[in-house]
Structure 1
Amino acid sequence: MLIEEKYFTQDKNYLLKSVQAFSKEILLDQWLQQILTSYNLQHNPMGLEDDFIIELKKKIHFAKDILEDNYDIIAAIYRHDHSDNQLEIMWDGRSHMEAYDSDWKSMYAKWIGRLSLIKEIQRPIIKYAVSEGGVNHTFLVQSIRRSILSHFGLRIKSQKIYRIHTAA
């Protein structure tokens, strides 16, 4: 029996959810490549291929495990922030699925570009990859999740997303 995750009351855009689920594997690989790019940008700007970089490139795929749940969180955040797009009319001839796919992938690329620069997200992914999954999986997943939610100004209580209201 499949349990449907609903992170907010109006999380009912099933077409968008299916687009996000269908794209998950490809987008997880994209996130891992972005982590490599961001790490090199910050810590190896000359692009030197030392032993660590070679090892990281070989093992980065191991980190996909700790990104799967966090991908679901990012997907839910997108649905939460774009919940008003369910009934829009497509004037450009695209189907809703095509429009959702294009819009989701575009925003996802922007978000992971920013998220991959955050050390509290980047480091656990690299640590997990280099250790080939030999470290505390749950702790690292939760650490990444906290950083993602903090970045977007959100909290999750009882599996529901809430925006944190901050004084400006």
Structure 2
Amino acid sequence: MLRKFFPQDKNYVLEEAQLSLEKPLLAYLVDFVKVQYLLQHNPLGVVDETVQRIQHHQSDDTSKLHEFYMVLAGIFRYRYYSDNQLTFIFSGEEPFVRYQYEWESEFKKWTKALCLHKNFLMGVLELTVFFPQEAEARFIGERLAVVAAGFFEVKIHPQKGIQKKSA
């Protein structure tokens, strides 16, 4: 377990499934964010320096999004597997494959929903297309975690992990 987000966070098979999909899902996230940014903030298709940088961006370095990905993975485990970590699958599927499918489909739904928030779009673009300094990248990464915490109505405490946000 890389990081326990709540006391019962012990589903190692689910975590391995999530980690195995990190690279393709983060590539999907970056591509989706680029398209959504252009659709939402440049509907006329005016090409300027910023738009060109976004359109021509080819890097597959998503390392600056790793911590954000881990937060989303922890939130998924907290929301769907916090009370019963090990479930019986009667369809004959391997748990690893089942978890991969569930995680991938939920991650893509969350990506679409998070892209409605300008701070999320800007944060992902700043971390992947516009390459900030290391200290700045950490600040932007923390901003993404705050957006996620607000979106999912949870608090992410450094020592206590994920907790429901109190009213």
SS of residue in 2 equivalent to 1:15: helix
- Match of residue 72, structure 1, among 70, 80, 86: 70
Q: For residues 58 and 124 of structure 2, what CA distance do their matches in structure 1 show?
A: 8
The normalised TM-score by structure 2 is 0.86
- Match of residue 14, structure 2, among 13, 16, 35: 16
Q: For residues 138 and 46 of structure 1, what CA distance do their matches in structure 2 show?
A: 33
Q: For residues 129 and 108 of structure 1, what CA distance do their matches in structure 2 show?
A: 18
Q: Structure 1 residues 119, 127: closer, same or farther in 2, change over 3 A? A: same
> Contact between 2:65 and 2:127, CA under 8 Å: does it hold in 1?
no
Q: Look up the match of 1:58.
A: 56
Unaligned runs of 5+ in 2: none
> Contact between 2:64 and 2:128, CA under 8 Å: does it hold in 1?
no
Range with bigger deviation, 147-156 or 40-49: 40-49
**2:103 is matched by which residue type in structure 1?**
W
Q: Structure 1 residues 58, 132: closer, same or farther in 2, change over 3 A? A: farther
Identity %: 26
Residues 107-127 of structure 1: CA distance to partner in whole angstroms, max 9, x if unpaired?
Answer: 000001111221111112223
SS of residue in 2 equivalent to 1:82: helix
The normalised TM-score by structure 1 is 0.86
> Contact between 1:32 and 1:60, CA under 8 Å: does it hold in 2?
no
**1:36 is matched by which residue type in structure 2?**
K
Unaligned runs of 5+ in 1: none
Q: Structure 1 residues 133, 59: closer, same or farther in 2, change over 3 A? A: farther
**1:158 is matched by which residue type in structure 2?**
P
Q: Look up the match of 1:95.
A: 94
> Contact between 1:32 and 1:61, CA under 8 Å: does it hold in 2?
no
